[in-house]
Structure 1
């Protein structure tokens, strides 16, 4: 079982692949889609959960998603058909950095997927190229709530604190107009769901050849979370507009 398959399995009960609960997602989408007829792009959409929710709740929205995982995109296609929104969803199997479009977008999403474009600021630069006048960007990324240990940086990467993160965003020409900082409950629920789901699957399939690998992965990641970064890592989702020159 490769990392993509393990990730898909881990998110079985938490399809938003970031530490946000359903109410937070709904609130952010309501703020990001003020007209209700926007054209939306998700860079690194995975199984397109954000897009599917936007389409299901806003019948005049049209959406496009870009991802390198054909299995995730196929899952999104099937769910779109079941939800009756497939006519308003277009999916592209390619790298986000290679995506081009003949038209701009009113809302660009990248929540928990900035690594697909090289990080937070490169993602914002890519989004700017696709953004329509008056458009918005909804971006979600991690930050350090407290000074991390070297071990935490090794596991998760080199983030900044929240104030520095926002300073970098504003210096790059963006103005935050809304935001959500994931609560401790959201952060914990996300981690427990991921690693608990993997452990459950392994214990339910003891004779499966991948069972030991999956259980070891779940145990390792749960331990890293509890011992290495739980006390220091946070997640913020920001709604941004370009700052006038």
Structure 2
């Protein structure tokens, strides 16, 4: 199985692609205020739920979703919601793709595409028009990570900041948070157990070959074990609505 197929199946029941509940996603999107005719881009859009919720909340906005492994389910849900004429899905590298400046830039859970939070904020800044808004979400440490957490995730201790470090990085790039959400343990459990569970369900009921079944089960077990054996209660996730304050837009 291709990696994109595994991720598509894993997110079947949790298409948000981050440990954020649907009501929290809508609350975060509700803090964005694009004017009619605004353009939005979602960098590393995955299943496209963040961008679609933005378009549903703001009927005068159009959007572009960028991901190097774009699942077919994103376009399908776009059709079901009547958004097909307002969104384009483009399979491309979000780190190098460029189509000018946007009024709103979304990037949630996709910092791996840019090489970390600092580079992600730089990419958001590059693609945001002066005075625009952004919504950025990324992993954080809830405290000093243990050796078991680092081993389970296979990352160094400086892979993620703590919450205060996240805010410092945001401000260093000329942004100011207007609203933020730190994912709860329940949101994390829902996300991780749904991720693994969707793969198990597909492997047992729908896998066309024994090899596909084995690959799906292996991916489910690996992800679940990493969460339960080390990352749980240590790996966090924060999402912020950001305003560009580096540019004085009052004049």
Same fold (TM over 0.5): yes
Structure 2 gaps of 5+ residues are none
Structure 2 CA distance for partners of 1:123 and 1:37, relative to 1, 3 Å: same
1:8-23 equivalences in 2 (<5 Å): 8-23=8-23
Cα distance per residue 1:96-122 (max 9 Å; x no partner): 1222224x2111000001111222111
Secondary structure (helix, strand or coil) at the match of 1:32 reads coil
Give the structure 2 partner of residue 232 of structure 1: 234
Note closer, same or farther for the CA distance 1:4–1:232 as it changes in structure 2 (3 Å cut).
same
Match of 1:179 in 2: 180
Distance 1:34 1:92 in 2: 22
CA deviation profile, 1:144-190 (whole Å, cap 9, x unmatched): 10221234224163212111221222223221111011111111111
- Alignment match of 1:145 (pick from 142, 145, 167): 142
Match of 1:133 in 2: 130
For 2:39, the equivalent position in structure 1 comes to 39
How far apart in 2 are the matches of 1:207 and 1:100?
38
TM-score by length of 1: 0.90
- TM-align CA RMSD: 2.0
Residue 160 of structure 2 is matched in structure 1 by 159
Displacement after TM superposition at 1:21 (Å): 0.7
Q: How far apart are the structure 1 equivalents of 2:85 and 2:34?
A: 22
| Long gaps (5+) in structure 1 | none
Runs of 4+ in 1 over 4 A off after TM superposition: 34-37
1:98 alignment partner, SS class: coil
CA distance in 2, matches of 1:218, 1:69: 19
Match of 1:52 in 2: 52
Question: Which of 119, 122, 130 is the aligned partner of 2:119?
Answer: 122
In structure 1, distance between residues paired with 2:181 and 2:228: 23
Structure 1 pair 239–206 and aligned structure 2 pair: CA distance change class (3 A): closer
Secondary structure at 2:59's aligned position in 1?
coil
User: What CA distance in whole angstroms lies between the structure 2 residues aligned with 1:156 and 1:177?
Assistant: 33
* Contact persistence 2:34–2:58 (CA under 8 A): no
**Structure 1 residue 205, shift from structure 2 partner:** 4.4
Q: How many residues align?
A: 242
Alignment-derived partner of residue 191 in structure 2: 190
Q: TM-score, normalised by structure 2?
A: 0.88
Pairing partner for 1:96 from 60, 83, 94:
94
Once the two structures are superposed, residues 27-82 of structure 1 have per-residue CA deviations (whole angstroms, 9 ceiling, x without a partner) of 01110136465321111112322112222232111111111124x2x433333233
* Equivalent position of 1:107 in the other structure: 104
Q: Which moved more, 1:199-208 or 1:115-124?
A: 199-208
Q: Which residue of 2 aligns with 1:6?
A: 6
